[in-house]
């Protein structure tokens, strides 16, 4: 059984796609062991509670320094012993010590076809605003392993989505979620659960 911890910051639409896929059997042999948010007001926490999944909050605002938060975050995640950490709309920069401890065990969903429109400053609607401003005809989403950089880890899955005449950032964002993000994130988790994508060894499992 693949034990998955999902990290969130907002509404949790990608979390919902994961939960629905587990319920329907599209993701096999997987248990969501917790949902962790840096934002105590994230609606994703309500989604977790409705599913009977532990909903946890760890906010940087509760700590005197970022270093203290980073240490607490790494300890909290480690204490749950996840096989896989999924960043599903998580806006927290994952600290290096956590990346190292869970090397190739943390995945992220990004709403563009990396290497386009990614890196520092590209998140949420900003990604789609940039894509429309550039005039691209195709965008999409990418699932990748998380490394010490921003959106720079090894790519696991991508799915393209057409940009249509009259698109606004909001309309494009919704289409990318429905046609790409909500498809490839659950599919990647299922491939990991089936052993088709291999995870790295975390330190506490060596």
Asked, for residue 19, whether it belongs to a domain, the answer is yes
Asked, for residue 144, whether it belongs to a domain, the answer is yes
What CATH number should be reported for the domain holding residue 183?
A: 3.40.50.170
**Are 90 and 45 in contact, with CB atoms under 8 Å apart?**
no
Q: Please tell me the predicted confidence (pLDDT) of residue 200.
A: 86
How do residues 83-106 score in pLDDT, each as one tens digit?
999 999 999 999 999 999 999 999
Asked, for residue 206, whether it belongs to a domain, the answer is no
CA distance 163 to 176: 9
14 by DSSP, 3-state: which?
Answer: helix
Asked, for residue 136, whether it belongs to a domain, the answer is yes
CA distance 25 to 190: 9
Domain of 44 in residue numbering reads as: 2-201
Asked, for residue 83, whether it belongs to a domain, the answer is yes
Q: What is the mean pLDDT of residues 100-122?
A: 95
- CA-wise closest residue to 117 among 67, 151, 87, 90: 151
How do residues 145-174 score in pLDDT, each as one tens digit?
999 998 999 999 999 999 999 999 999 999
Asked, for residue 92, whether it belongs to a domain, the answer is yes
Q: Which one is catalytic: 51, 81, 110, 144?
A: 110
Q: For residue 109, give the H/E element and its range.
A: strand 106-110
CA distance 151 to 138: 19
Asked, for residue 140, whether it belongs to a domain, the answer is yes
Specify the pTM.
0.93
DSSP 163-194: --TT--HHHHHHHHIIIIIHHHHHHHHHHHHT
Number of domains making up the chain: 1
- CA-wise closest residue to 128 among 115, 108, 111: 111
110 is catalytic: yes
């Amino acid at each position: 059984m693949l034990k998955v911890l999902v990290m969130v910051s907002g509404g949790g639409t990608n979390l919902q796609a994961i939960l629905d896929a587990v319920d329907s059997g599209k993701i096999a042999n997987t248990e969501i062991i917790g949902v962790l948010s840096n934002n105590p007001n994230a609606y994703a926490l309500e989604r977790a509670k409705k599913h009977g999944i532990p909903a946890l909050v760890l906010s940087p605002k509760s700590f005197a320094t970022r270093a203290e938060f980073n240490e607490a975050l790494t300890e909290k995640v480690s204490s749950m012993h996840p096989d896989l950490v999924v960043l599903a709309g998580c806006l927290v920069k994952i600290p290096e010590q956590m990346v190292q401890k869970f090397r190739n065990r943390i995945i992220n969903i990004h709403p563009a076809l990396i290497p386009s429109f990614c890196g520092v400053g590209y998140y949420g609607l900003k990604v789609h605003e940039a894509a429309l401003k550039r005039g691209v005809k195709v965008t999409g989403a990418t699932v990748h392993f998380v490394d010490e950089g921003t959106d720079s880890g090894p790519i696991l899955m991508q799915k393209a989505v057409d940009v249509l005449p009259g698109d606004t950032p909001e309309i494009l964002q919704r289409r990318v979620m429905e046609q790409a993000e909500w498809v490839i994130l659950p599919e990647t988790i299922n491939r990991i659960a089936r052993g088709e994508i291999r995870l790295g060894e975390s330190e506490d499992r060596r």
